[in-house]
Structure 1
């Protein structure tokens, strides 16, 4: 029996296995060759046959063990590569972080070294002792009512997470729980965008329906408005026979007839806009167009108690405009401003107009109400968007369309009066004609 003589190969076999775990196959082959050479030099053999047999046996065993080590190292490297590319955290039985991958640390907004031995609940407050205790007892991890967990990063950002948990065997103590984290920010953003697109499709469908309805109304309402104007004119004739006693009533009827005629003009222009796709611009003076609205503003003031101040400079106020549509846009802005200041103390609405030389003629409608929230500045011009109970959300959208049809841009900002300020500039007639 020469079993004792075979023991001298054990350190050499260990060296080959270590090389296989740390290096590649050529390095392992070189380690086997060197091990055999070293053994032949340092060991005295009884015979060449015995030395050859032991060498062959060693080479076979070393080759098999080296291949096993290579595959084990490759699988370990693959597993390590997978784990380091995904957000994974391991916890002990107290909920402290024992291991954390770089993606997980980046997701939680902390350096990996700074996260170790800290309670995971510091980053995910909803993941408390009760949740950890249920996991250690073998229960499945149940997400909060929202469907995801909220992680709070040190910089204050809240990150929605999906967390998958697995319970480890006691043999790998002190690690007890493995958590796999998934960032939900992009998924939630996609869902929000999808809901926004669905809302836009819904609004587009309603606007199309309203467009068809508007065309029908523009056709059907013209006749009753014309008849009402005729009846008012006949009423004025009868009242005129009463002499001075009927003068007040006659003036009121005259104002009513004027508004009916204006309503007819609006409907006629609407039909033309639907038919031709654009307004008919003529040379107008801003001061004259706004002055015609003064009786309407007086009625609004009487009904609401809101003061409407008009300050329109007549200097170089000639512009190309559709008179009726321009007046409709100003009336819409004034009504919106009045609605904004009602119930907020002494309401004031200011309508100003002034020439800005090369920039054109600016019209501003301002109020001293609460103003418009910053997050709504970009949305108030969208159709169907309204902050008023019972509102349809079309006033500002229609007003912007009218302003844009005059080659201008309707802007909104903060007024020195404290509320909102809507403004747009029309190019002077001289510049438009020169162009």
Structure 2
């Protein structure tokens, strides 16, 4: 709509509002309007009589005013009063002349009144239309304020930026005006605009907006619609849609699917572990019996066989330990129970020295064990805790196995009433910040060919002892896993 047309419509609506304000709605009010307007017209006629002779012409404004402000009955009364007034002022030659002029006046006056009625109806319609348009413009402004919309001219510069669009793009509405849209949404140039228009005004490509004050970058889709040429200078309307929440929902859905898959695999592995625990227990027991028999046979040889006997003792101890691990796993899988007893933490760590020595020999990694032997009484499941500690040591060794100076340090430290702290530290590359929150999840592994169960099982064992397995990046580099064991109380000691 052109400005001139808008101004004319505003003037028309204003004139209609003025008439509506002074319009009478009762018969008595209309009669008063007819009487006052005809009286004023007759006074004007008498004032003009010395200048020229007028008949019904001076009273026509009275008829028009009455038609604009009153009813049709008021117009009829005004016509009657005008005829009576004119006949009292002007003497006619004959009755026929009087009737002819009166009839002609009635026809003309009523035609003018009908035209005024039509004008009044048009003014009322214009006023109603103006009110409706004002309400619609207010509604449209409210919608546009909350809807992310940007208009562009033919050169791709912004002509209008709503508050919603400015919020998505992280810019001020006024500061974004007359700017190339590509500066507001990087990468969205002329080619992207043409692609959006060719796809019926909708582009499903995700565009990343600039960083907003809160540090987030919105993911947007852009719908493009071309305006008619007479809408100049605005040529294209862009509607922005924030897809951040939808993408976050899809990402959570993928994570949920991954977790469900992991749970399914873990359940399958749990069933397999229960089967293996049952099946492996018998050959391990048989192997222990065979070793015991071999020891008895070697004992008959004499002192020469003592080194071999000591090696067989170590092998049999490991077989028995493996049997205990399998038995505990079966108990945990079947009913989730664990046997906690009072243990010496330093002794539990020292008992792993033969296993740790073998790991060090096979990998060439130096493994040091440092423990506080005093005040090391804790409440623990000995076998399960040693298994968790072995997992941590193996992971630490794997992290430094490619280094010439690879070192792993196992430390046990008494903390008084707070318990006994055990830590495993290496001097490897450490754990990336992005992986800190995920390394304990099942099926997540940083090692090639790893199953991602070692740290998950280790954390479960530590948490079953009422502790938490923490990981940190020491100042000197590498990674450090730490947990604490609580002191036994009289009620907890079996």
Structure 2 equivalent of residue 195 of structure 1: 254
Q: How does 1:144-159 map to 2 (within 5 A)?
A: 147-153=205-211, 157-159=216-218
Structure 1 equivalent of residue 20 of structure 2: 29
Structure 2 equivalent of residue 275 of structure 1: 334
Q: Which moved more, 1:401-410 or 1:358-367?
A: 401-410
**Pair 1:362–1:341, CA change in 2 (3 A):** same
Check conservation: 1:86, 1:104, Cα contact below 8 A: yes
Structure 2 equivalent of residue 17 of structure 1: 13
Match of 1:88 among 134, 137, 149: 149
User: Which has more radius of gyration?
Assistant: 2
SS of 1:221 mapped into structure 2: helix
Q: Distance in 1 between matches of 2:418 and 2:65?
A: 104
Q: Which moved more, 1:351-360 or 1:78-87?
A: 78-87
Q: Distance in 2 between matches of 1:304 and 1:28?
A: 103
Structure 2 equivalent of residue 72 of structure 1: 133
SS of 1:362 mapped into structure 2: strand
Q: How does 1:246-325 map to 2 (within 5 A)?
A: 246-325=305-384
Q: How does 1:19-418 map to 2 (within 5 A)?
A: 29-30=20-21, 45-47=58-60, 48-49=62-63, 51-52=65-66, 53=113, 55-132=116-193, 140=200, 143=203, 147-153=205-211, 157-243=216-302, 245-418=304-477
Q: Distance in 2 between matches of 1:99 and 1:359?
A: 64
C-alpha offsets along residues 135-156 of structure 1, whole Å, 9 cap, x if unaligned? 68x6645747xx3122224757
Check conservation: 2:365, 2:407, Cα contact below 8 A: yes
Q: Distance in 1 between matches of 2:15 and 2:240?
A: 36
Q: Distance in 2 between matches of 1:12 and 1:305?
A: 95
Check conservation: 1:353, 1:363, Cα contact below 8 A: yes
**Pair 1:74–1:141, CA change in 2 (3 A):** closer
Q: Distance in 1 between matches of 2:190 and 2:230?
A: 23
Check conservation: 2:176, 2:184, Cα contact below 8 A: no
Q: Distance in 1 between matches of 2:22 and 2:247?
A: 56
Instruction: Give TM-score scaled by structure 2 length.
Output: 0.76
**Pair 1:40–1:205, CA change in 2 (3 A):** farther
Match of 2:484 among 409, 425, 434: 425
Q: Distance in 2 between matches of 1:84 and 1:14?
A: 25
Q: Distance in 2 between matches of 1:205 and 1:97?
A: 53
Q: Distance in 2 between matches of 1:116 and 1:13?
A: 30
Q: Distance in 1 between matches of 2:165 and 2:410?
A: 58
Structure 2 equivalent of residue 3 of structure 1: none
**Pair 1:431–1:178, CA change in 2 (3 A):** farther
Gaps of 5+ in 1: 1-10
C-alpha offsets along residues 271-300 of structure 1, whole Å, 9 cap, x if unaligned? 222334221111211121111110000000
Q: Distance in 2 between matches of 1:58 and 1:348?
A: 101
Structure 1 equivalent of residue 78 of structure 2: none
Structure 1 equivalent of residue 73 of structure 2: none
Deviation at 1:345, TM superposition (A): 3.3
SS of 2:235 mapped into structure 1: strand
**Pair 1:176–1:13, CA change in 2 (3 A):** closer
Deviation at 1:400, TM superposition (A): 1.3
**Pair 1:429–1:135, CA change in 2 (3 A):** closer
Deviation at 1:417, TM superposition (A): 4.4
Instruction: Give TM-score scaled by structure 1 length.
Output: 0.86
SS of 1:158 mapped into structure 2: coil
Q: Which moved more, 1:234-243 or 1:321-330?
A: 234-243
